[in-house]
């Protein structure tokens, strides 16, 4: 009888521990085929260095609480795998008699999983390796949406609807701009358009899939303020200007051998830009890490599907699958339904997922209503706020 290994990779989401729960509970159903299930300490770092948690030593009752536990309970790292790492990883597999691996992560994890799959095939180590997707910005290809994205979107939609209500309290002009995650993909920024369903949605939305024109941005803001006295804009962290540079860092400043960009930091830039042009109060807000680790308002669909994909990975492995990612395919637009499918890692790793430009309006400062058909089933029911007549007494 062989053992299995579960690895969390990359950044946290609100539901990655739900996928862990799916793996754990499904492995327990197949105790005749799978012996022990291990989890790597701090992701690939633990797997490479032989630091594994023996999950058979845990209290089973605690596992169900993983579904409401934020971040990554086993820890993670961001690590580029070297040839030396591959051999050390193989040593860990042999030491613990592991023949079944579940990697749970985003695009970097997909590439790492593919690299390990090719290495293990090359050295003829019989082992199944299956990727379980997760990401908050929905940039993994060949999946309708990645677990983690719906919960991050729900958090943003509700938080921004609340911020906009706060913005309306005082009778003075006010501009607010919110920075949301999204290196290359505008899905999270676009999702905030659903806040409009509560009656309190953003006036302007800017995504990385189109060029960010500073003068157009200022003009957009000015037009809305002139009409309403207030303006709320959402800007994805990964927007680029007309020269192809991120707003917060010129590529030339990085040098040839610098590490990948640390995303974020649009907020101070926007604050500076707006204060130069408008005399009213300016509030620029970075929506921060709560986008990816907030579990107090998780999407029910997201949690369910995260568990489902964790379990599906185990089933696929037991059926002999390897070098695959478990994926979701939407099967109905009228009533939300999905099915799980297996996709080759090579295919997933070949491209990223971007917000289709058909959802972006013609002036590149908003999202078309058609996007709601995609996002609303994922984020679930939204709060209903009071709608008062507020008639001035005579």
Please write the tens of the pLDDT for every residue from 256-271.
Answer: 455 555 566 789 999 9
Task: Classify residue 335 as exposed, middle or buried by CB count within 10 Å of its CB (0-12, 13-18, 19+).
Answer: exposed
Torsion sign (Cα): 369, 373, 379, 383: positive
User: Within this chain, do residues 365 and 217 fall inside the same structural domain, yes or no?
Assistant: yes
The CATH number given to whatever domain includes residue 193 is 3.40.50.460
Count of structural domains, the chain: 2
Flag whether pLDDT at 366 surpasses 50: yes
171 within domain boundaries: yes
127 within domain boundaries: yes
User: Within this chain, do residues 366 and 232 fall inside the same structural domain, yes or no?
Assistant: yes
pLDDT tens-digit readout, 342-365 = 999 999 999 999 999 999 999 999
387 within domain boundaries: no
User: Within this chain, do residues 126 and 226 fall inside the same structural domain, yes or no?
Assistant: no
176 within domain boundaries: yes
pLDDT tens-digit readout, 293-337 = 888 889 999 999 999 999 999 999 999 999 999 999 999 878 899
197 within domain boundaries: yes
User: Within this chain, do residues 220 and 159 fall inside the same structural domain, yes or no?
Assistant: yes
393 within domain boundaries: no
User: Within this chain, do residues 59 and 140 fall inside the same structural domain, yes or no?
Assistant: yes
How does residue 251 score in pLDDT terms, banded at 50, 70 and 90? very low
390 within domain boundaries: no
How does residue 71 score in pLDDT terms, banded at 50, 70 and 90? very high
pLDDT of residue 215: 95
Mean predicted lDDT score pLDDT of the chain: 94
More confident residue, 249 or 214: 214
User: Within this chain, do residues 142 and 6 fall inside the same structural domain, yes or no?
Assistant: yes
pLDDT of residue 70: 92
User: Within this chain, do residues 223 and 308 fall inside the same structural domain, yes or no?
Assistant: no
pLDDT of residue 261: 55
User: Within this chain, do residues 208 and 173 fall inside the same structural domain, yes or no?
Assistant: yes
User: Within this chain, do residues 333 and 284 fall inside the same structural domain, yes or no?
Assistant: no
The CATH number given to whatever domain includes residue 127 is 3.40.50.450
User: Within this chain, do residues 236 and 365 fall inside the same structural domain, yes or no?
Assistant: yes
User: Within this chain, do residues 220 and 358 fall inside the same structural domain, yes or no?
Assistant: yes
Domain residues for the domain of 140 are 2-147+296-349
Flag whether pLDDT at 198 surpasses 50: yes
User: Within this chain, do residues 116 and 137 fall inside the same structural domain, yes or no?
Assistant: yes
pLDDT of residue 295: 86
67 within domain boundaries: yes
pLDDT tens-digit readout, 101-160 = 999 999 999 999 999 999 999 999 999 999 999 999 999 999 999 999 999 999 999 999
How does residue 95 score in pLDDT terms, banded at 50, 70 and 90? very high
pLDDT of residue 332: 85
């Amino acid at each position: 009888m062989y053992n299995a290994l579960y690895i969390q990779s990359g950044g946290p989401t609100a539901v990655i521990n739900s996928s862990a729960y799916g793996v754990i509970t499904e492995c327990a159903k197949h105790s005749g085929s799978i012996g022990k299930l291990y989890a790597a300490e701090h992701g690939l770092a633990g797997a490479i260095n032989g630091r594994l948690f023996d999950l058979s030593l845990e209290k089973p009752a605690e596992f169900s609480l993983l579904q409401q536990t934020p971040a990554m309970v086993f820890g993670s790292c961001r690590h580029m795998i070297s040839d030396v790492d591959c051999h050390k990883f193989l040593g860990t597999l042999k030491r613990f008699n592991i023949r079944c691996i579940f990697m749970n992560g985003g695009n970097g994890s997909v590439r790492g999983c593919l690299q390990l799959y090719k290495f293990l095939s090359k050295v003829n180590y019989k082992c199944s390796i299956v990727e379980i997707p997760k990401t908050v910005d929905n940039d993994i290809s060949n999946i309708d949406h990645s677990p983690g994205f719906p919960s991050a979107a729900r958090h943003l939609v509700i938080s921004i609807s609340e911020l906009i209500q706060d913005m309306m309290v005082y009778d003075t002009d006010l501009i607010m701009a919110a920075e949301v995650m999204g290196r290359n993909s505008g899905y999270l920024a676009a999702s905030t358009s659903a806040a409009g369903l509560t009656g309190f949605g953003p006036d302007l939305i800017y995504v990385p899939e189109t060029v960010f024109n500073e003068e157009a941005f200022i003009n957009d803001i000015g037009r809305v303020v002139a009409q309403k006295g207030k303006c709320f804009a959402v800007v994805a962290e990964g927007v680029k200007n007309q020269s192809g540079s991120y707003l917060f860092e010129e590529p030339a400043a990085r040098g040839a051998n610098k590490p990948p960009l640390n995303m974020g930091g649009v907020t101070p830039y926007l604050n500076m830009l707006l204060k130069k042009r408008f005399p009213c109060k300016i509030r620029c807000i970075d929506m921060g890490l709560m986008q990816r680790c907030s579990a107090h308002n998780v999407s029910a669909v997201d949690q369910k599907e995260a568990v489902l994909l964790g379990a599906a990975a185990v089933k696929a492995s037991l059926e002999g699958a390897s070098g695959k990612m478990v994926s979701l395919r939407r099967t109905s637009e009228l009533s939300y339904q999905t099915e799980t499918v297996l996709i080759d890692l090579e295919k997933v790793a070949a491209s990223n997922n971007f917000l289709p430009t058909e959802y972006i309006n013609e002036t590149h400062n908003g999202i078309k209503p058609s996007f709601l058909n995609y996002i609303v089933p994922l984020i679930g029911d939204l709060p209903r706020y009071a709608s008062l007549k507020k008639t001035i007494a005579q």
